Structure 1
Amino acid sequence: MNWYDLLRGLHIISVIAWMAGMLYLPRLFAYHTETAPPGSEFDAHFKVWERKLLRIIINPAMILTFIFGLALIYVDGTQRLGWGFLLKPWMLTKLAGIVFLSAWHGYLAGARKKIERGERPRTAKFWRMTNELPFIAAIVMVIAVTTEFGS
């Protein structure tokens, strides 16, 4: 068995799960904000859905993404490419995307806590407008990595 390919496959699967959750959570926030008045029964349902999505899918998927990604970096650095690949433009682009996605993840987690307290930190329009940010970041990252931009 080729362990590197297995590791890469597991990394891709965890990224897909992380991205799916981060694309869905802002959409839930939009629906929650516009259709569920604070304190209503529907408000309570949305809070459960949002909390479960973050805790059961998004957070574990992010952790696995980091574990598999760091393992790939280690294998690439020690056995395949040498550590110099970390300074290549394509890898720096990917690392910048990871920083952005991690920050966005933190922002969504913070917004969920505010919503759970009955606050409405943003409008439904804001959540719809920012809903695709993780996907845009993913497009840039995937193209940078698959084309090895700047190598």
Structure 2
Amino acid sequence: MTDLLITAYPWIKGFHIISVISWMAALFYLPRLMVHHTEQVGLSGDTHKLFAMMEFKLAKVIMSPAMMATWVFGLLLVATPGIVYWGDIWPWTKGASVIAMTVFHLWLMRRMKGFQRGENTVTGSQYRMMNEVPTLLMIFIVFSVTVKF
């Protein structure tokens, strides 16, 4: 298994990067949809149904599979010998940030399900603020890996 991981490392890394890009794109876009859903559309009518469908498809067809692929390929990278030295701080800061990103993902999924039911307790400005969470986590993750602090 070790030899296979070492041989496949460039491919795994490439698929990990593709998965992360897809996950991040969805994490950036879904809260923006929710801002407009909250401020412009409301919780009933045809436009509400359209927004609820767009949010659902973004979350279920793109965001969740991309998150799962990110985790799978990331864990394969971690399992590849010589890639991570656990005595450094950066793998722990990256790991904690990825877990935080996953918690944010789950929060968005709960919000999406609320919209599906015609419920929403979050304001547009709160969604705007929450939209900064993945950006901050992404910055921390990227610098954890590249600068290795």
| Equivalent residue in structure 2 for 1:19, among 20, 24, 39 | 24
Deviation readout 1:103-144 (Å, 9 max, x if unpaired): 000000001111111111200111111112111101111111
Distance 2:58 2:83 in 1: 37
Contact 2:56–2:112 under 8 Å retained in 1:
yes
Relative to 1, partners in 2 of residues 1:120 and 1:86: Cα closer, same or farther, differing over 3 Å? same
1:137 alignment partner in structure 2: 137
Q: C-alpha displacement at 1:38, in angstroms? A: 1.9
The answer on whether the counterparts of 1:90 and 1:144 sit within 8 Å (CA) in structure 2 is: yes
Q: Which amino acid aligns with 1:127?
A: Y
Cα distance in structure 1, aligned partners of 2:91 and 2:82: 15
The answer to whether the Cα contact below 8 Å between 2:55 and 2:112 also exists between their aligned partners in 1 is yes
Structure 1 residue 113 corresponds to structure 2 residue 113: yes
**Mapped partners of 1:129, 1:81: distance in 2:** 35
The CA deviation at 1:37 is 2.4
SS of equivalent to 1:38: coil
CA distance in 2, matches of 1:29, 1:103: 18
In the alignment of these two chains, the number of paired residues is 144
Tell me which stretches of 4 or more aligned residues in structure 1 moved more than 6 Å: none
CA contact (8 A) 1:115 1:121 kept: no
Calculate percent identity across the aligned residue pairs: 37
Deviations 1:37-56 (A, max 9, x none): 22211000000000000011
Mapping for residues 1-151 of structure 1, pairs under 5 Å:
3-75=8-80, 79-81=81-83, 85-149=85-149
Q: Assess if the C-alpha contact under 8 Å between 2:77 and 2:83 holds in 1.
A: no
Structure 1, gaps ≥5 residues long: none
Using the alignment, how far apart are the partners of 1:11 and 1:122 within structure 2?
A: 32
Question: What's the TM-score once normalised by structure 1's chain length?
Answer: 0.90
Provide the C-alpha distance between the structure 2 equivalents of 1:126 and 1:86, rounded to a whole number of angstroms: 37
CA-CA distance at 1:81 after TM superposition: 4.6
Q: 1:33, CA displacement in angstroms?
A: 0.5
Partner SS, residue 86 of structure 2: helix
* TM-score, length basis structure 2: 0.91
CA distance, structure 2, for counterparts of residue 87 and residue 73 of structure 1:
14
Which one-letter code corresponds to 1:130 in the other structure? Answer: M
